[in-house]
Amino acid sequence: MRASRGNAADTPRDTSLVEDPEGILGILAGWQGVGVVIRRDLPTGTWIFVVLHDDTLGPPTGGCRMKVYARPSDALLDGIRLAEGMTYKWAAMDFPFGGAKSVLAVPRLLSGDERRGLLLRFGALLNSLGGRYGTGADLGTTTEDMRTIAEVSPYVIGVHGRSEGPMDPSPYTALGVFSGIQAALGHREGERGLSGRSVLIQGVGAVGASLARRLVEAGAEVILSDIDEGRARATAEELDAEVVAPGAEYDTPCTVYAPCAVGATLNRETIPRLACDIVAGAANNQLGHPGDAEALMERDILYAPDFVINGGGAMAFTLIYQGASLDTVEARVRSIGPRLETIFAEAELRSTSPAEAALAHAEAILARGPEEGAPSSFEDMRALSPE
């Protein structure tokens, strides 16, 4: 006999998705990805979207984002954009993974047992996909969150695979951006050195703060900005750096503008205001519109494509998952700089933007397809040898 689940009429019902059918259906109608898993977490009122964009090179892989959204369709659209970005990120690095992203659209900030319960149920959802998707920390989730998910699921990058290894991808993302800034300076200024160069970091979270420390150690003059002005001031005091108010980043003269917070900060309103020579930062989806890459080029501002320069964390933790030594991991992350040097040179040769050159490179890798022996799921991932 099936256990009673109670009267459906007594169960609280969130009608937000029902009231937004055109948003969800309209987004999916024009999308050509592998698939989307949609789950409603009744105990917390969270909408879960697991967006699998591409599996050409290997199993779809991307972080788990937790955020409050106005509508479920906004969360789905965010997931689709981020998953597509991951496809090109993996392809640009020629790593055997596909693009994906999961989004936990929470109704409010969750903590304690409520948050833990959601994460454990999300882990069970991961298991139901049988290794066809792997996740890790992202905006709104932490290393501790990933440990919680890993209690029930093996498909967590950065937790499984190395008992003594690091658990936070932020320093590796920052290292890749640092290497990319050096490459951009070398291409634009003819000198990779940071002494006397000014770098404005927008967003002083885990990645931005780690990047700031590396830049200061290398002799750069660092300027910080964050919507949490207290956090910006605290980091500035630690590093003897300057602080500018949120919104003033675009008008502040600097050598490098490094967006390390939200996306779409490069758009038709901000690009005319930029007072920098180079844009090179960690944020995802930095361009408000693909045409904004041309607008930067017209202003003679060198742009380091986001899906290339910010791949250090993803690169590092997939290598760690496969069992690579930490020396090998750091060397591979630093290779982001030389990869960008090649992209800048190709863009200049073809009189196109670095964004177009990077996309062409990624598309060529996707057209080539997976290398022989590439895994189709995380079940056979450890057979790869990254050394």
Contact call for residues 268 and 292 (beta carbons, < 8 A): yes
| Marked catalytic residue, from 101, 121, 332, 361 | 101
Q: CA angle, corner 274, sides to 268 and 275, nearest 5? A: 165
CA dist list (Å): 232 to 100, 168, 193, 265: 31, 21, 25, 18
User: How far is it, in rounded angstroms, from Cα 170 to Cα 8?
Assistant: 44
Residue type, 19: E
Query: Which are the contacts of 79, defined by CB distance < 8 A and separation ≥ 6?
Result: 36, 49, 50, 51, 65, 101, 102, 103
User: How far is it, in rounded angstroms, from Cα 353 to Cα 91?
Assistant: 18
Q: Do the strands 46-52 and 35-41 form a parallel or antiparallel pair, or are they unpaired?
A: antiparallel
> Is-catalytic flag, 67?
no
Which of 58, 213, 236, 69 lies closest to 139, judged by CA? Answer: 69
Query: Which are the contacts of 351, defined by CB distance < 8 A and separation ≥ 6?
Result: none
Q: Do the strands 64-67 and 35-41 form a parallel or antiparallel pair, or are they unpaired?
A: unpaired
Active-site residues, by number, are: 101
